[in-house]
Amino acid sequence: MKKLFILLLVTSTMTASAQQVAPLAAKQPDVDMKTFKLYNPSENADSALKVAIKEAKAQGKHVFVQIGGNWCIWCARFNQFVTKDAQIDSLVQANYVVFHMNYSPENRNKETMAKFGYPQRFGFPVFIVLDGKGKQLHTQNSAYLEQDKGYSKTKVMEFFNHWSPKALDPGAYKNY
């Protein structure tokens, strides 16, 4: 009888846990890779980055570089996650100029990747944060921001907040 009770308890706990996980997965629908075309394989990354850096400097922002390709499901998931969540999208728009740098067989942007210390070693997408002068501030392995088949809102917001211009402003730390 005791074994039966324990078996029922374990089974009901597992069922309840599975029911709690299902709604989380439903919040992050997968993307249609047939229509995903965020990256431009023919774009000159260096030229496009110069424009983004100039814009960031003029606006007092940083540049958020998302490196990946139209072949990359995690790149598509991240873009969808960030742009569909109003809170994250607002945070990004307020603090960053966004540039999507292509990495694919058509164009690996080898020179630019070398300049940034070969970030492809982390897999894709990989993120780089530049200041308004083009100085590389951070390279982020996106796997640390993942949760299940998507991304953790808490981790993504923390990442964007920690590398924002305000977070790196020395004046913000006068009392520390």
| Residue 19, pLDDT above cutoff 60 | no
Buried b / exposed e along 116-126 (16+ C-beta atoms within 10 A): beebbebebbb
Confidence band, pLDDT 50/70/90 cuts, at residue 31: very high
For 39-92, what is each residue's pLDDT tens digit? 999 999 999 999 999 999 999 999 999 999 999 999 999 999 999 999 999 999
For residue 152, list its beta bridge partners. Answer: none
Q: Parallel, antiparallel, or unpaired: how do β-strands 62-68 and 126-130 relate?
A: antiparallel
Please give the angle made by the CA atoms of 159, 161 and 166, to the nearest 5 degrees.
140
- Unique residue bearing structure tokens 């300049």: 115
**pLDDT for the residue numbered 163:** 98
* Domain-wise residue ranges, the chain: 45-171
DSSP code for 104: B
- Does the pTM surpass 0.85? The reply is no
Domain topology for 45-171 = Glutaredoxin (3.40.30)
Average pLDDT, the chain: 88
| Residue 81 burial (CB count, 10 A) | 21
Express each pLDDT in 129-138 by its tens digit: 999 999 999 9
